[in-house]
Chain A
Amino acid sequence: MKCKKVKRVLSPYLDCALSPEESNAVKRHLESCSACQEYASELEAMWKVLDVLPSMPENPYFVQRVLSRIEEKESEQFSFVHRLEHFLVPVATGFALLLGIWIGYLAGGNGERLGNENGNSTLVASTEYLETFSPLPSASLGEVYLSLNTELGEEGTP
């Protein structure tokens, strides 16, 4: 094994991450090459220097803090859904109301459009369903309305 290759695999060698064959080859090279030996020693010494960084001090309240934070997050999520409900209910109600008005408008527009001499037209309610009320009592409002409408309809028909 040559110095260049040894330097490249020194990291896994020091971490014992090489195959036994490769590891033996590096070991043999280091025994015979002082430059590589020095390089390996420096890497090992540097690795030890990293010990100087302290660890995080123990925190006996960590678990409790995690649980409290989860509680906060869950209540935030709940209040978001709650707020959404508060917003959605009036919007849905308003929408249903508008839909009802629109459907009512469509159904109510089912009348007959009658023309007059001036070319204007007048919308009158359909007489189609008034038969439902038959027989109407004579001189009742229904009968008068029906007869008026029938006459108008006949006059308006070309």
Chain B
Amino acid sequence: MLGEFSPLEIDDVKWMLRVRDGDEEAFRELVEKYQTSIRNLCFRLIGNREDAEEVALEVFVQLYLSRHRYKPEAKLSTYLYRIAMTRSLNRIRDQKRKRAISLEFLKEEGRLDPEISPSDLPDVQLEQKEMEARVRNALEALPEKQRTALVLRRYEELSYEEIASIMGISVSAVEALLHRARETLRKRLKGLFS
């Protein structure tokens, strides 16, 4: 079974088997190794640092609490990315629900402020912040699957096969999602690069 893994992945399997047997030091090593990728993935999917930090934390807690059920069948990174993706998307849905409720509340109370326009920001920060905000908004406006595929490809630099495995879809579906995501972003962000 281990023949299907690369040497680096075999290391992961060995670490994870040690974690399964209750080796806390091995778990610590695994968190150290994957924390950057998982925290960044959550951040880019959710778009909010506090929530991303919390979700990333939950990913590793889940990994530890389910360690007894671990079987070295899939790559550990795939398993972690999958948990991170699922939890992040759940968090986004929760946020949307809460936002809808609070917007409704503000509307009812008549306390809804007009949107802050970019011109209200200090000049020094304007360009960078505005670009960042536009990119973030464009990403957030993408449908969930397109956004996930794009983030995994663009920022985590995963192969189409890995993305397909994480998302539980075919490679051709990943191709289609990335094609549509790129096309949408090209139109929405045109002002930033042309």
Contact = CB atoms under 8 A, between A and B. Distances in A.
B27 to A, nearest CB: 8
Nearest to A47: B154
Interface string A1-44: 00000001011100101000000000000000000000000110
A70 to B, nearest CB: 5
Interface string A53-73: 111111100110111011001
Given A15-B160, A70-B65, A73-B61, A8 B128 contact: no
Residues of A contacting B: mostly:
helix
A62 B57 contact: yes
Interface string B25-42: 000100110011001100
Contact of A56 (B53, B61, B132, B193): B53
Interface residues of A, number: 31
A52 B135 CA distance: 8
Given A43-B186, A46-B189, A50-B154, A55 B61 contact: no
Q: How large is the interface on B (under 10, 10 to 19, 20 to 34, 35 or more residues)?
A: 35 or more
B35 A62 contact: yes
Nearest to B157: A15
A14 B178 CA distance: 11
12 contacts: A8-B179, A11-B175, A12-B178, A46-B189, A46-B190, A53-B139, A53-B155, A55-B40, A58-B36, A66-B61, A69-B57, A70-B65
